[in-house]
Each structure stands twice: as structure tokens, then as C-alpha cells.
């Protein structure tokens, strides 16, 4: 039941091509059931709950993720969780243990509700594996890139696990097929090097074995022929199968499940165990407002440039006026930002003229987190198109925000990225907070002018700017 505190998500299930609005914690339980034996200690199950919740939520745009490709109406996708099945389907798998296992999952979820792992204020890629075999692995040794929280740590806590050391035998033919290789062809006179088994091999000029050391013990050729009942001393050796001895199970990156289970049995709590396997991370609790209102507490001033008869701005070849387009985009942007929890101030909400000095004075009085000025570009070359964003030199936060907005605009409206640049415009210089001057499109370009007459297109522009602002703040999830 929704009580206003539970986090509900639109979840895309690629295995049955459906989107369902479901409680986050219900999905976490299913993912823990998928990924860890429920015979494990409750603190280990709590670790896995935090890990799976982190890996689920890190997809969300509200938390800095990329969202669900091809399915913008979904918050997250179950695509990364191969083998996922709904909890009800475990009834047949677990049999009599079904209700006891549900209670364990409920406890692990309830006692970690909303908790995720972050590094530098962003959800981590919480890698995990079954058994590390003595030490976890640095990320670059597996995936090639350095991830600062996925560092090697020593771990002898998994040494009693059933996967600590295992053997697997493969035929030579199977090894050749899987690796796409061809071993040297077998002959009776070719020495096959097998370390620590056959060494110091001496043959005569006809290829017969004179002497050879087997496991460190020397034999004459005729002795070996007799003891092994080989037909002649002109012989070689060639394996027909190879036994591989492995230690551990998985790629060794991140959380060692069996090691974590032993640490839990030794009295360590989930937070301590996670801190051991992920270097320099924090565990934080997210809330519904973090997800549904990611801009809660943020104050944004939007300045629709131009206005009134005194300042109509640029006019397109079909008569579209910059002042009108700027205002429409600003109003849609205001709506999008308010939906995400921001407090928004418009410099103008109707077609009136306001001098630049008054605009900067209004912004300086409000003291927002950011000042966003909306414009349309114009040049006497109708083929030029695209978006430009300007910030005042040295303003690193404005530059970062500009990059976030540009990235979202390019993806959303397929605009040409004409650059994030510095400028000495009056408002950028005079407004005493981080400020952006966004040239959305070129009214001098007939194609872009036509697009700007479409209300749906204007809404997409506004949403892209809002998502860019959200992207800038997406690390602020605590």
C-alpha cells in the first residue's frame, strides 16, 4: 500500500516487455533472491540488498544515470539482471522454505530500506562475485579502466566456501574449439613440454629416448618402455585432456559474497562489510523526494530575453519573434523545474520590457543557485544552425552546468553543438551568481524557425534544459 513514503518506480521488464509501477523494495527482494543464497547470514543478505538497490537506482536520471534506452517512460530496467523472475515463482523452487525465505528477504529489505552505496556523492557500480579466492581484483585488470572504489583487498574469509578451489577437465579438442587454436600435431619423436613432469629429455640420433626425468626422477628409455609397457623407446607424450585448477568463482571485482557471509558470521555488520570491499564509499539513505523531487531546495531564476515593443529581439523570415519564443520556452521550463521540486522565479511572465539593469537587480536580490537566460540566435547566413551556451570566464560551476544542458539538448532535440563558450555579456557579468546565456537556435535558419513554431518542440527544449539542470544536481542525493 502507498503510504506516501514508499518509493514507487516505473520498471521496464525486458523479459516480458512490460512496464509496471512497483515498490522499489519489492524489486530489491526479488533481486536478492536472484543473486544470493538465502541460507546466508542476515547481515550478508543486507549487504546484497544494498548492492542490488544501488545497481537498480544508479540507472535513474534523477540520480545521474542514463535512464532506460528506448523507453523514456520507465525509471529503471531489469535488463542487467539476467535470470530475474517475480517472487511468486520462487514458491515452486523453494517449496516448504518459501515463507521463511520471504521473511528473510523482508528483514534484509526493511533494515536497509532506501540505503545505497555512493562514491563522490554518486551511486557506485556495485560489482560483486561469489568467491574471490584470497583477494579481490582491481577493476583495471578485468575491465581495463581504473575505478577508485573497486580496489584489491585481501580476503581469506571465503576459504571454507565450496568454490574456493575447484577442478575442471577439458579435452584437447574442446580447448581447441573454444579458443579457436590448433595445438602442434602429435608425433612419436616430438617432445611436449609439460612443466615439472617430463624434463631433461635426451634422444639419440634416431629419435629414441636415451633418458628422461619424470617428476624429478631419471629413467633410461628402456626402463620407461618396460615400466609403462610402451611398444618402443621411440615415443613421445601428448595430453588428451587438461585439468584446470581454479581458486574462487567470478571475476573477483568488488563484494565477495562468501567472504561477506563469513564476516557477518564473525559479527561484522553490513555497513562495515561493504566498507571493507568497496574502497572509500559511503552508504546513504535516499527518499521519495530525492527521486521524485531531485531539485528540492534549489532556486532557479529564468530570464526570457527581450520583451515588449521596445525589445522584440530577432525576427525570423516567417515573422516568428524571439521575445515570444523565449517566453514560451521559459514558461515550459518553469513547469518542468517545479515538477522536480525547484523554486523558480521568472524575470518576466508576459510580454513586457524590462531593462537589463533591472533584470540583474532582480536576480541579485533573489540570490538563486543559477540564473538561466533564454535567447535565440541570428546571423545573415540562413544555413547556420545549432545551439550555443555562454558562461562568464572562470565560473567553473556554470561551465559544468552548461555542459550538462548541452549534452541533454543534443540528445533530445538533435541540435548541433556549437560549443560551450565564455562571454562578457552584461547579465553574465552583472548577476552575482553562476549564470548561463543559452542561444537555443537560429531564427535566421528557416528550418529551425519552423521547428520553433511547434509547441511540442518547445516543450522538448524545455525538458532537455531541465534534465541538464537535474543532471548537474544529480549527485546531490543525500
Residues 323 and 438 in one domain: yes
Residues 87 and 209 in one domain: no
Q: What is the pTM of this model?
A: 0.66
* Residue listed under C-alpha cell 553490513: 270
pLDDT 10s digits, 448-474: 999 999 999 999 999 999 999 988 886
In this prediction, residue 368 carries a pLDDT of 95
Residues 440 and 310 in one domain: yes
126 φ/ψ angles, rounded to the nearest 5 degrees: -80, 80
Residues 445 and 319 in one domain: yes
- DSSP count for the chain of H helices, then E strands: 15, 19
Residues 148 and 282 in one domain: yes
pLDDT 10s digits, 87-135: 999 999 999 999 999 999 999 999 999 999 999 878 999 999 999 999 9
Question: Are the C-beta atoms of 340 and 294 separated by less than 8 Å?
Answer: yes
Residue 478 domain-assigned (yes or no): no
Residue 461 domain-assigned (yes or no): yes
Separation between Cα atoms, residue 314 and residue 321, nearest integer Å: 6
Residue 1 domain-assigned (yes or no): no
Residues 66 and 184 in one domain: no
SS3 263: helix
The CATH number linked to 460 is 3.40.630.40
CA-based nearest residue to 329, from 424, 407, 409, 431: 409
pLDDT(396) > 70: yes
Span 267-286, mean pLDDT? 96
In this prediction, residue 477 carries a pLDDT of 45
Residues 265 and 311 in one domain: no
Separation between Cα atoms, residue 324 and residue 29, nearest integer Å: 51
Residue 170 domain-assigned (yes or no): yes
Q: Which residues contact 69 (CB under 8 A, 6 or more apart)?
A: none
pLDDT(365) > 50: yes
Q: Which three cell numbers stand for residue 85?
A: 523472475
> What strands lie across the sheet with 343-346, from one edge to the other?
343-346, 299-304, 370-377, 435-442, 387-391, 417-422
- Quick one: pLDDT band at residue 5, thresholds 50, 70, 90? low
Residues 271 and 315 in one domain: no
pLDDT 10s digits, 401-457: 999 999 999 999 999 999 999 999 999 999 999 999 999 999 999 999 999 999 999
Q: Which residues contact 176 (CB under 8 A, 6 or more apart)?
A: 182, 183
Percent of the chain with pLDDT over 70: 97
Instruction: Give the Å distances, CA to CA, from 83 to 30, 186, 216, 345.
Output: 11, 43, 50, 48
Which residues are bridge partners to 153 per DSSP?
Answer: none
Question: Are the C-beta atoms of 27 and 435 separated by less than 8 Å?
Answer: no
- Quick one: pLDDT band at residue 43, thresholds 50, 70, 90? very high
- Quick one: pLDDT band at residue 1, thresholds 50, 70, 90? very low
In this prediction, residue 3 carries a pLDDT of 40
Q: Which three cell numbers stand for residue 179?
A: 579458443
pLDDT(395) > 50: yes
Residue 100 domain-assigned (yes or no): yes
Span 241-267, mean pLDDT? 94
SS3 content of the chain, % helix, strand, coil (to 5): 35, 20, 40
Separation between Cα atoms, residue 380 and residue 420, nearest integer Å: 22
pLDDT(475) > 70: no
Separation between Cα atoms, residue 287 and residue 156, nearest integer Å: 36
In this prediction, residue 2 carries a pLDDT of 39
Span 309-314, mean pLDDT? 96
Separation between Cα atoms, residue 211 and residue 378, nearest integer Å: 90
Residue 3 domain-assigned (yes or no): no
Find the helix or strand (DSSP H, E) in which 412 lies: helix 396-413
pLDDT(345) > 60: yes
Residues 159 and 170 in one domain: no
CA-based nearest residue to 77, from 102, 101, 49, 56: 56
Out of 233, 262, 287, a domain closes at 287
Residues 202 and 262 in one domain: no
Out of 190, 218, 247, a domain closes at 247
pLDDT 10s digits, 59-84: 987 787 888 988 888 999 999 999 99
Separation between Cα atoms, residue 81 and residue 124, nearest integer Å: 16
pLDDT(478) > 80: no
Span 50-65, mean pLDDT? 90
Residue 81 domain-assigned (yes or no): yes
Find the helix or strand (DSSP H, E) in which 389 lies: strand 387-391
Residue length of the chain: 478
Domain residues for the domain of 467 are 293-473
How many domains does the structure of the chain reveal?
3
Residue 97 domain-assigned (yes or no): yes
Residues 177 and 63 in one domain: no
pLDDT 10s digits, 156-192: 999 999 999 888 888 888 888 888 978 777 677 777 6
Question: To 5 degrees, how large is the angle CA 149–CA 396–CA 305?
Answer: 130
Residues 91 and 18 in one domain: yes
Q: Which three cell numbers stand for residue 18?
A: 512490460
Out of 247, 268, 303, a domain closes at 247
Instruction: Indicate the average pLDDT of the chain.
Output: 92
pLDDT 10s digits, 377-390: 999 999 999 999 99
Separation between Cα atoms, residue 409 and residue 420, nearest integer Å: 12
Amino acid at each position: 500500500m502507498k503510504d506516501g513514503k514508499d518509493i514507487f518506480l516505473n520498471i521496464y521488464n525486458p523479459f516480458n516487455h512490460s512496464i509496471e509501477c512497483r515498490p522499489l523494495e519489492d524489486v530489491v527482494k526479488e533481486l536478492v533472491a536472484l543473486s544470493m543464497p538465502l541460507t546466508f547470514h542476515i547481515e550478508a543478505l543486507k549487504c546484497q540488498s544494498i548492492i542490488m538497490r544501488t545497481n537498480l537506482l544508479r540507472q535513474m536520471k534523477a540520480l545521474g544515470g542514463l535512464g532506460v534506452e528506448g523507453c523514456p517512460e520507465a525509471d529503471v530496467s531489469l535488463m542487467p539482471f539476467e535470470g530475474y523472475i517475480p517472487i511468486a515463482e520462487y514458491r515452486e523452487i523453494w517449496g516448504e522454505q518459501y515463507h521463511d525465505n520471504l521473511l528473510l528477504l523482508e528483514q534484509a529489505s526493511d533494515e536497509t530500506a532506501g540505503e545505497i552505496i555512493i562514491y563522490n556523492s554518486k551511486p557506485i557500480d556495485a560489482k560483486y562475485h561469489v568467491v574471490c579466492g584470497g583477494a579481490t581484483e582491481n577493476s583495471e585488470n578485468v575491465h581495463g579502466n581504473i575505478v577508485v572504489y573497486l580496489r584489491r583487498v585481501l580476503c581469506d574469509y571465503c576459504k571454507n566456501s565450496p568454490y574456493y578451489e575447484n577442478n575442471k577437465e577439458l579435452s584437447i579438442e574442446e580447448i581447441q574449439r573454444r579458443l579457436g587454436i590448433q595445438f602442434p600435431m602429435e608425433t612419436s619423436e616430438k617432445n611436449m613440454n609439460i612443466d615439472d613432469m617430463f624434463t631433461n629429455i635426451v634422444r639419440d640420433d634416431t629419435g629414441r629416448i636415451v633418458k628422461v626425468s619424470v617428476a624429478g626422477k631419471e629413467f633410461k628409455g628402456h626402463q620407461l618402455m618396460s615400466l609403462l609397457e610402451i611398444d618402443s623407446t621411440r615415443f613421445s607424450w601428448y595430453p588428451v585432456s587438461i585439468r584446470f585448477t581454479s581458486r574462487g568463482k567470478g571475476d573477483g571485482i568488488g563484494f565477495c559474497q562468501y567472504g561477506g557471509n563469513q564476516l557477518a558470521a564473525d559479527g561484522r555488520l553490513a555497513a562495515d562489510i561493504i566498507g571493507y570491499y568497496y574502497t572509500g564509499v559511503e552508504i546513504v539513505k535516499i527518499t521519495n523526494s530525492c527521486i521524485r523531487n531531485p531539485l528540492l531546495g534549489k532556486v532557479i531564476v529564468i530570464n526570457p530575453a527581450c520583451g515588449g515593443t521596445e525589445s522584440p529581439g530577432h525576427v525570423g523570415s516567417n515573422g516568428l519573434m524571439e521575445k515570444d519564443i523565449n517566453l514560451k520556452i521559459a514558461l515550459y521550463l518553469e513547469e518542468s523545474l517545479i515538477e522536480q521540486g525547484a523554486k523558480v522565479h521568472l524575470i518576466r511572465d508576459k510580454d513586457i520590457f524590462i531593462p537589463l539593469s533591472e533584470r540583474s537587480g532582480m536576480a541579485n536580490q533573489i540570490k538563486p543557485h543559477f540564473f538561466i537566460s533564454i535567447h535565440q540566435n541570428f546571423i545573415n547566413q540562413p544555413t547556420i544552425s545549432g545551439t550555443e551556451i555562454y558562461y562568464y570566464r572562470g565560473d567553473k560551476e556554470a561551465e559544468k552546468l552548461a555542459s550538462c544542458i548541452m549534452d541533454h539538448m543534443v540528445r533530445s532535440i538533435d541540435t548541433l553543438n556549437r560549443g560551450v563558450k565564455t562571454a562578457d555579456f552584461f547579465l553574465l557579468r552583472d548577476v552575482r551568481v553562476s549564470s548561463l546565456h543559452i542561444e537555443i537556435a537560429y531564427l535566421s535558419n528557416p528550418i529551425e524557425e519552423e521547428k520553433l513554431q511547434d509547441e511540442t518542440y518547445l516543450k522538448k527544449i524545455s525538458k532537455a534544459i531541465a534534465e541538464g539542470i537535474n543532471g548537474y544536481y544529480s549527485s546531490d542525493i543525500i
